[in-house]
Structure 1
Amino acid sequence: MASEAKRLADAADAKRVEAEESLHAALDSLTKAGDKVRALELELERAKKAAYESGSKEAQDEMGRQLPGVCNEYYMDAWNDAIAVLNSGQIMLPPNPIKLPFPGATSPPHPETVLNSPPPQLGAVMVDLEEVESAEAAGPVDAGLQDAPDGGSAAPDEAGPNNL
């Protein structure tokens, strides 16, 4: 009977050891899966940030391409308005514009063209609103900028009538 009890105890001990090894293997597998999930979450955050920065860069580039043309367009509109005033009988301005502020710039497309064109294909970029809110709570982006005095500019060496 003692040998039977010893055999049962050995079998139970072997099952316990086998269960412990299985538990350790499952725990190791779970730990590795958790590490992979964290790595993928970090990669996703980096990809979201890169996509946001890429879109921001594209928008800045597009605005940079359009700005000179917009300035030239408004300059020409103002010049034509001034010429119309002169054509009404006043003689104070020369008949031709002196120079455009951005020579060679192309005018932006008319609003009707933009409104009638298909919207651009955007990537499936999602913005984490909690991340944006935490960045906003951290402080304004322009916290380091100096305030401009009334009627002036905070930019040094800005172009003016005396330094064109």
Structure 2
Amino acid sequence: MRLTVTFFTSMLSKVVNQINISADLNCGFELACQWRNNTAGEDSGDFLITSNVRVANHFNIIPSRNNSDELFAYTHGPFDGMQKATLISNTISCQLGGGTLTFWYYRTGDSATLEVCVRQPPGSLNTADLRCFPVFPKNYAHQWLFNAVEFPPLTQPFEVVFLV
């Protein structure tokens, strides 16, 4: 079973600025954003940028708005427990009140998982430093789906991590 996960909110770049306001996390992928692929060797997949992707001659994923040239990030592969792809935000200084991360995704495989995690301290390779929130409901529709993940107040620096 292969999976393609596609996002409208994130980016793969080498930008190392700290995120100070929530708008710094916004990304349409036309410009460099404050998101990056994992480079520490913890995963075997990457997120790529495109405006159209065809997966295994079954799915042709295009932006959610018809006739749009919007770009999106996607990853694909067997994701059978052996392959992982990780998308990481730059360091966020703190979240004094609760926060909400909203994003769109497109899922093509029924057995894959997607989690949104908070990692404290930033850059930690210890899985115990991840607090994760599962994303996929029992809906296997092959269409763009909206999701929102609620985060608790966080007074110390952290990263947001998408794990596929």
Tell me the TM-score normalised to structure 2 length: 0.20
- Which of the two has greater strand per residue? 2
For the pair shown, the structure with the greater C-alpha radius of gyration is 1
Tell me the TM-score normalised to structure 1 length: 0.20
- Which of the two has greater helix per residue? 1
With a CA cutoff of 8 Å and minimum separation of 6, indicate the structure with the bigger relative contact order.
2
